[in-house]
A = this chain, B = another copy of it.
Amino acid sequence: MISQTVEYALRAIVTIGQHNGQPCTARRISEITKVPAAYLSKLMQGLVRGGLVNSQRGLHGGFVLTKEPRDLTIWDIVDVVEPIKRIEKCPLDIESHGGTLCPLHRRLDTALEKIESIFRQTTVADLLSQPGSVTPLCEAQKAITLDMSRVQSPSENESTKK
């Protein structure tokens, strides 16, 4: 129900968010999120086109979020990669229904409405840290702490230029 593309996009955004404004290379995001490099590359293009992420070129280049994590919601991300289409009119085009949904499509739309509500209310900041919870993608967090010099290395930054 939550597609792999949506799951991967959320992992990528959370990873970039965890870097606190420091550009994060495609290779690094791929390592952390376990999203295959080719898949991630397409995904990042979509996130850039959708205005969620900027790609900074150059020696210390990489991807950064265009907004603060507190201003970016799950809904914004889903809406870029795989928009949820609410049911606004009869999908069978039954004319006599007019704008009224039958019980079947009304219930399905109620389910979609719940999802929309949760996704609109959850910001990336909410995903980064919550008291008493484990940290998302935390193996990577450790790596960031240990390997700060590696993050900055020219060879790593090459990967964002591709």
Residues of A with Cβ closer than 8 Å to B? 1-2, 7, 10-11, 14, 33-34, 74, 82, 84-85, 91-92, 94, 96-97, 100-108, 110-112, 114-115, 118-119, 122, 126-130, 133-139
- Contacting pair B96 A136 (CB below 8 A): no
A95, closest chain B residue (CB)? B139
A-B pairs, 4 with minimum CB distance: A102-B136, A114-B114, A104-B136, A103-B130
- SS of A interface (majority): helix
Residues of B within 8 A of A111 (CB): 2, 114-115, 118-119
Residues of B within 8 A of A82 (CB): 1
A-B contact pairs, 6 of them (CB 8 A): A1-B1, A1-B112, A102-B134, A102-B137, A103-B128, A111-B118
| A-B contact sample (13 more), CB < 8 A, given A94-B137, A96-B134, A114-B114 | A1-B115, A10-B108, A34-B92, A94-B139, A96-B139, A101-B134, A102-B134, A102-B137, A103-B133, A104-B136, A107-B118, A111-B118, A114-B118
> How far is B107's CA from A130's CA once the two chains are assembled, in angstroms?
11
- Contacting pair A102 B34 (CB below 8 A): no
